[in-house]
Structure 1
């Protein structure tokens, strides 16, 4: 009889390292939220949207945990921030952050992690190029939520929205997608090496 799990049947990286089970899933979801909270504090101040390590964490969490657990990690991250824990960029928290110009990016993290996790469940994270494409797609999803939200929050026109919420982040988004692809591909390489050592 299999242990109950939040994960779907398709295994991701963590499923090759840890046994599946509800307790493990809860720990992984919590760890994913904590990683994102920590990465949020690695920030370069920029108005109205700072440059942070959050996006990289979101991509890695989604890719490693899969769609359901990755998305739940981002839901947990958003909820604890709303509850008042200082997990958002610069130690911020509360409804004012979600209602403000960066709120859409935080909401977008949920769907970005779900997409990258869904692609990882289909082995996109095991090759560098496919991984980079998967994580680039996750980054695009984040902006798809973040830009309209920013525009509404600041009553900004299209040009202002792009200048404030997209252009400064394009290069960093590409770098983060490549880094996430390298991290996941490297981790899979370690797992394969460990498997070969066991068999040998």
Structure 2
């Protein structure tokens, strides 16, 4: 008999640790949103877009949970902020944040987590190189949405938008992708070792 679950397709890192069930999926989606909210508070204020730890959380959540749960986790994160919980950067909240200069990045998180999770379900996250490419791809997705929205909101020129919303984040984005690419494959090895020990018992 099949178990009701929010996720479809191949198992992810989370599925090697937890059995698939609706209750587990809801918990994992909520935990992903909570992690993103916490990482959002690690911020360096810049105008008009601050540097935060959100994008690292998005990459980790997407890769760990897979496409469906990763995207749902970011949808939940966005909704919590819109209804008034201080989960956005610098403990901000409200629809005004989503409609403002950082709104495109928040929407981009949904698609970035989904994309990274989709690649993870095809084993891109099990080796450092594949994980690095996957996470760089997820970062690019976030910036495509973020920069497009930033241009619409500010009416700035292409040069201004790139200067505001991309250039200050390039090095940090590469570092975050590298950190995620080191964490996830290592965690896979640890999880697989635990699975092997269980099978030997």
Alignment of 1:91-110 (within 5 A): 91-110=91-110
Q: Which residue of 2 aligns with 1:182?
A: 182
Deviation at 1:199, TM superposition (A): 3.7
* 1:154-177 CA-partner distances (Å, limit 9, x unpaired): 111000000000000011111111
Q: Secondary structure at the match of 2:125?
A: helix
Alignment of 1:59-78 (within 5 A): 59-78=59-78
Alignment of 1:92-171 (within 5 A): 92-171=92-171
- RMSD over aligned CA atoms reads 0.8
Deviation at 1:75, TM superposition (A): 0.2
Deviation at 1:197, TM superposition (A): 2.4
The answer for unaligned runs of 5 or more in structure 1 is none
In 1, the alpha carbon distance for the partners of 2:199 and 2:73 equals 34
What is the total number of aligned residue pairs between the two structures?
Answer: 200
In 1, the alpha carbon distance for the partners of 2:81 and 2:154 equals 21
Deviation at 1:2, TM superposition (A): 1.9
The answer for unaligned runs of 5 or more in structure 2 is none
- Shift >3 Å, 4+ stretches: none
Which piece of structure 1 moves more, 101-110 or 186-195? Answer: 186-195
In 2, the alpha carbon distance for the partners of 1:181 and 1:109 equals 18
In 1, the alpha carbon distance for the partners of 2:59 and 2:48 equals 22
In 2, the alpha carbon distance for the partners of 1:11 and 1:174 equals 27
In 1, the alpha carbon distance for the partners of 2:65 and 2:141 equals 18
* 1:122-150 CA-partner distances (Å, limit 9, x unpaired): 00000000000000000000000000111
Instruction: Please report the TM-score for the alignment, with normalisation by the length of structure 2.
Output: 0.98
